[in-house]
Amino acid sequence: MVSIHLILFLVFGAVAVAGAVNLLAQTHPINGALSLIAVMAALAGEYLLLGAEFVAAVQVIVYAGAIMVLFVFVIMLLNAGVEERTKGSRVAIIVGVPGMLIGSVLVAWILLTRSGTQSVPVGALPGAPTIIGDLLFHQFLLPFEVTSILILIAIMGAVVLASKPQAVQKRKEH
């Protein structure tokens, strides 16, 4: 039965796959970054179809709106040029693309026929913000706190990496 949900699922899925393939096919990194933004937005649409509204909104705000902005900043500041085609990369395309296609067909066939999962109906994972808050602070409190400490360590590491090394500063003072 062809319902609007099936059509939407296929549209978002097509955009995600097309974006991902375009990311690999483009030679200029900025085009790749923009394709990745399209993939993130399509995934947010898929989350919405599952009923996980909060996750969809946070996907757009955090992933497409902050993390990809940083990717785009780095590409702009490093002035990364167009990708060059060498002999090695040509071999990689000739061997890799059919290999990846065969591999993905194999994985899809195994998942569809051998694993015990069924297809997920629309709206199967309701995720109102109250439900997620409840889960996050009661059932998943330990992973939540550990993740926040992990992020803190990453921030401190970034600050240390970005500052000048102490030895160089001391030598300059003498």
Partner 1 sequence: MPLWVYILASVIKSAVVLGVLLTAVAYTVWLERKVVGHMQNRWGPTRVGPFGLLQPAADGIKFLFKEDLTPPHVYKPLYIAAPMIAVIFALTSIAVIPFGNPVQVGNYSIPLQITTDVNIGLLLILGVTSIGVYGVALAGWSSNNKYSLLGGLRASAQMVSYEISLGLSLVGVLIMSGSFSLNDIVRAQQGHFLGIIPRWNIFHGQFLGFFIYLIAAYAETNRIPFDLPEAETELVAGYHTEYSAMKFAMFFMAEYANMITVACLATLMFLGGWNGPIFGPYALQVILPVFWFVAKVFVFLFLYIWVRGTLPRFRYDQLMAFGWKFLLPLALFNLLATAIAVAL
Contacts with partner 1 by CB under 8 A lie at 30, 37, 53-54, 57-58, 60-61, 64-66, 69, 72-73, 76-77, 128-129
Which distant-in-sequence residues (6+ apart) come within 8 Å of 26 by Cβ?
32, 35
CB 20 within 8 A of CB 39: yes
Residue nearer to partner 1 on the CB measure, 18 or 58:
58
Q: How far is the CB of 86 from partner 1 (least distance, A)?
A: 24
Nearer to partner 1, 113 or 130 (CB): 130
User: Smallest gap, in angstroms, from Cβ of residue 101 to partner 1?
Assistant: 29
List all residues 6 or more positions away from 153 whose beta carbon is below 8 Å from its beta carbon.
none
Q: What whole-number distance in Å separates Cα of residue 98 and Cα of residue 88? A: 16
Long-range contacts of 57-64 (CB under 8 A, 24+ apart): 64/37, 64/40
d(CA 137, CA 126) in angstroms, rounded, equals 18
Which among 88, 101, 83, 87 has a CA at the least distance from the CA of 21? 101
Task: Give the nearest distance from C-beta 97 to partner 1 in angstroms.
Answer: 25
Pick the closer one to partner 1 by CB: 103 or 126.
126
Nearer to partner 1, 20 or 34 (CB): 34
| Residues 20 and 35: beta-carbon distance below 8 Å | yes
Closer by beta carbon to partner 1, 74 or else 110: 74
CB of 133 to partner 1, least distance (A): 11
CB-count exposure of residue 19 (10 Å: 0-12, 13-18, 19+): buried
Q: How far is the CB of 57 from partner 1 (least distance, A)?
A: 4
